[in-house]
Amino acid sequence: KMAEIKYESLPQGKRPILSWNAVVYSATSLGSTMMNSVFQFYYVKLFLNQYKITEDWFNIVQTIYMIWNAVNDPLFGYFQDNSKMAMFQERRLSILYGAPLFALCFLLPWFPWAGYEESPNWVVGLHLLTSLCFYDALYTFVLLAQCAIFSEMSKQHDARLQLIRYAQCASLIGSSTVLWAELFSDSLHNFHMFQCYCICVACLSWMFMRYTGIHATTNYKIQGESNSPNARIQDTENSIWKLSKQIISEKNFLMFVTMNFCQVFHLAFGSNFLAMFGDALIPSEDLTPLLRQFLYGSSFIVPQLLVILLGSKLVERFGSYKVILMSFYIKVISGILMFSLGRSHTWLLAVFFLMDVSLPNATFSFFNLSLTDIIDDDVVRFQRRSPLSSMMFGTNALFTKPAQSVAPMLVVSILNRHGYQSAISHGHIEDNPELLDAIFLLVCAVPTVLGVCQLLAWLQYTLRSSHLVTPKYIET
C-alpha cells in the first residue's frame, strides 16, 4: 500500500538561509522571464502579420487554448499537492524535469512548418494551437512548482517580500530579452537571426531553471507516513472536487480571482498588442526606429525597476493590499486623461504606452503576497496538515488564465471589424482613420474599464494586514 505524503516543519536550526534560497528561487524567475517575455511579445504579431493566420482559425485556436489553459492548472496543482510520484510531490523535481521540455516548447512558434502562403489555412492554425498548448502546459507545470516554493519557503511577510525582490532583480535581467530581440532581429525583419537568438534564450533559460531544480529547499520536507486508518480516510476525503469546493467557497479567493482575471486580461492586451498599436498610432517621423525598439524593450524592464526601487518599499510600509488598490486608481485616471488629450500628442501617447504596460506588470508582482495570505488563511480555516499551495495557485489560474485567450480574440475581432486585416495586407494602416480611432479607443478604454471592475472587486477583499503581523518564529 502506498504511504500518504505529509509535510512537516523542519527544526529551526536546520532551516536554510533564506537569502541563499531566494537566489535559488529567483533562478527560475530569470529563466522563465527570458522566454515568456519573448513569447508573449511576439507570438500574436508573428502569426497575424508574418504567417497571415486567418481570423477564423485564430479564434478557433484561442478558444481551444482557453479551455486547455484553464483546465491544466488545477489538475497540475492537485497532482503536485496530492500525488505520490516524486516528480509531482517534490517541488524542485517538478522544475528540474520540466525545465528542458519547457525550453523546447518555447521554440515551437518560431519555426514555420511550411510555406504558409501556399498551404491550407488549417496548417498555420494547427501550428499555433500546438505552440500555445504545449508551451502553456510546461509553463504551468514549472511555474506552479515555483509558486508553491514561494508559499512554503516562509510564512513571514518580510521574508516573502525578500523573495519578490530577488525574483524582480532576476526578472529585470530576463525581461531584457525583448530589447535584444528587437535589436538583433531588426523587429523581426531578420527572421533567421531571431530564430538563432531564441535558441540561445532557450538554452540559457534551461540552465537557470535547472539550477533551481537541483538546489531549491523549503521549510517543509516530504515524509512517508504509516498506513494508519486516519491516513487512509484523509487520503479518500482529499478529492479534487472537495478541495476545489472548499477553495472557491472563500469570499477573499473569489474577490482575488475576479480582480486577477482583469489584470491578466490587461497584461495580455499590453504584451500582445503594444508593438502593433505603437506602430499604428505613432508615426515613424515622430519616433525613430531605434527609439521605438527601446520603447518596446523597456516596457519589459521598467516594471522590474519599479518593484525594486519603489514598489517593495511601499509594500513593506503600506502592505500589498493598498499598493494594488492605488494602482487601479492610477489606471482609471490615466486612461481617462489620455482619451481626453487625444491621439495627436504622440510623445504623451508613447509615455502612456510605457506606463500602461509597466504599472500592471509591476503591480502583478505583488499578487503572490495576497494569494499566499489566502493560502495561510485556508490552512487555519480548514485545519489542514499542509498548505494546498500548488492547488490554490492552480485554481486561481483556472479562473484567470482564460483572459490570456479572451483578450487577443476580442481585440482582433474588434480590429478586423474596422479593416485591420485588409490594411495589413496592403500596408496602409495610417490611411485608415476609422481604424486608428478604434485602436486609440481600445488603448484608453481597456485600462479604464478594467480598473473600475478591479476596484469594485478589490474593495471587498478583507485580508489586508499581513504586513503588520508579528512573526511567530525567526528563521535562522
Q: Are the beta carbons of 454 and 327 closer than 8 angstroms?
A: no
Asked if the structure places residue 231 within a domain, the reply is no
Could you give the CA distance from residue 139 to residue 451 in angstroms, rounded to a whole number? 27
Within a domain: residue 232?
no
Residue 69 belongs to some domain of the structure: yes
The range of the structural domain enclosing residue 256 comes to 10-222+240-461
Q: Which of 363, 18, 16, 20 minimizes the C-alpha distance to 157?
A: 18
Report how far residue 412's alpha carbon sits from residue 57's, in angstroms, rounded to the nearest whole number.
12
* CA distance linking residue 368 with residue 393, whole number of Å: 9
| Averaged pLDDT in 10-residue chunks for the chain of 476 residues | 38 52 89 93 89 90 88 79 72 90 96 85 93 93 86 74 85 88 89 95 96 79 44 50 84 94 95 87 85 85 84 84 94 95 90 93 88 87 79 85 89 88 73 87 96 96 70 35
Phi-psi region of 7 (alpha: psi -120 to 50; beta: other; left: phi over 0): beta
The backbone torsions φ and ψ at residue 15, rounded to the nearest 5 degrees and listed phi first, read: -75, 140
Nearest CA to 212 out of 146, 151, 163, 304 is that of: 146
**Helix extents (H) in 342-402:** 346-364, 367-382, 389-400
Q: Are strands 220-225 and 4-9 parallel, antiparallel or unpaired?
A: antiparallel
Residues 6+ apart with CB under 8 A from 442: 277, 411, 414
Within-domain flag for 467:
no
**pLDDT at position 472:** 37
C-alpha cell at 436: 486608428
138: domain CATH number is 1.20.1250.20
Asked whether residue 3 is assigned to any structural domain, the reply reads no
Packed helices 346-364 and 251-281: angle between N→C axes, nearest 10 degrees: 150
**C-alpha grid cell for residue 220?**
517543509
Q: Residue 346 has which C-alpha cell?
A: 504622440
Kindly write down the DSSP assignment for every residue of 40-74, as one continuous string: HHHHHHIIIIIS---HHHHHHHHHHHHHHHHHHHH
Does residue 65 lie in a domain region? yes
Say how many domains are in the chain.
1
- Please state at what angle helix 389-400 crosses helix 240-248, rounded to 10 degrees: 70
Please report the pLDDT score of residue 198 as a whole number: 96
Check: CB of residue 450 under 8 Å from CB of residue 331: yes
User: 296 in a domain, yes or no?
Assistant: yes
Q: Is residue 229 part of a domain?
A: no
Sign of CA dihedral 375, 378, 384, 390: negative
In eight-state DSSP terms, residue 14 is G
The DSSP code for 467 is: G
Q: Do 419 and 303 touch, CB atoms closer than 8 A?
A: no
Measured CA to CA in angstroms, residue 46 lies from 276, 297, 313, 323, 470 at distances of 11, 17, 38, 35, 50
Residues 6+ apart with CB under 8 A from 34: 174, 175, 177, 201, 204, 205, 208
**For residue 466, what pLDDT is reported?**
64
Helix axes 251-281, 367-382, angle to 10 degrees: 160
Going from the C-alpha of 273 to that of each of 43, 323, 357, 439, the distances in angstroms are: 10, 26, 10, 10
List the beta bridge partners of residue 222.
7
Report whether 268 contacts 403 (CB < 8 A). yes
pTM of the model as a whole: 0.75
